[in-house]
Structure 1
Amino acid sequence: MRFIAGIPKGIVCFLGNLLGILIYYNDYPHRRIVKRNLKFAYPEWADGEVRRVSRRVFQNLGITILEILQMAFFSKEDFLRYIRIKGEEHLLNAVERGKGIVIISAHLGNWEAASLVSPCYFGYPGTVVARNIESGVVNK
């Protein structure tokens, strides 16, 4: 399974989009939740826009799933090529002064990758704070 680390980003995105579309069409309960939440957040959106964005949500999920599988086999060097840090000078300054670092991320994109910044980039252990998801199956 180590081969997955070497798959080019473009192919991962293509396959992730396909995986996301499969999930979209086969996971009616979650598709319904996404559409309901989008209609609540954006009541002015037409049904076509809600449908289009809902599909993109699942396509992004598919990409994230494959990226997480891929990162499981990344070396430190692979990871450092994969991630870009904005404001890197602030983090380096804090590390040089012996200060801790707190990275806060919105739940957008592959935020799971942020958990690897501290150990891979700075050589310090990292901690992730999250809450359990309502699905017991997912939490296992």
Structure 2
Amino acid sequence: MNKLRLGVTIIVALFIISGICGVLGVTDVYRGNSILEKIGMLIITAIFVGIMYIIIYYWYGKDNRCPSCKKPFCLKTTGEEVVSKENVSVLVNTNTRNRKGEVVGSQEQYVPGERITYRVNKVCKKCGKTCYSTYRRDMPKV
């Protein structure tokens, strides 16, 4: 999910930069545009700025929102600790290679692994309350 957030954020930021450059006439491509075309580009750029605001506020601010005071962007990570470990089978994609080292096929198989549960401790910058979140990661032992 974080790669999706980053990708969408970068694409929208590039559209915003392109629109601002077009409105200001920085590039040679947009210098001959009429005033109506520049106003249209300004409106489209404003729409992309609004989309960027929504992406930043809801995607990034939602993860750092304090559960007690409900303010976004105020949780600070103070530490991370391992809560539990358990043995599980982990699905791993293995590649088959020829003599030249090129990948000629792949298959999925289950291998012994370990599921580690982490607890991330956080503190609110505004109200000082502490909270935590948990996540799991499956790690193959092979």
Query: Which bracket does the TM-score occupy, shorter chain normalised?
Result: under 0.3
Give the TM-score taking structure 2 as reference length.
Answer: 0.26
Give the TM-score taking structure 1 as reference length.
Answer: 0.26
**Structure holding more strand per residue:** 2
**Structure holding more helix per residue:** 1
Report the structure number with the largest CA radius of gyration. 2
The structure whose RCO (Cα within 8 Å, separation 6+) is larger is: 1
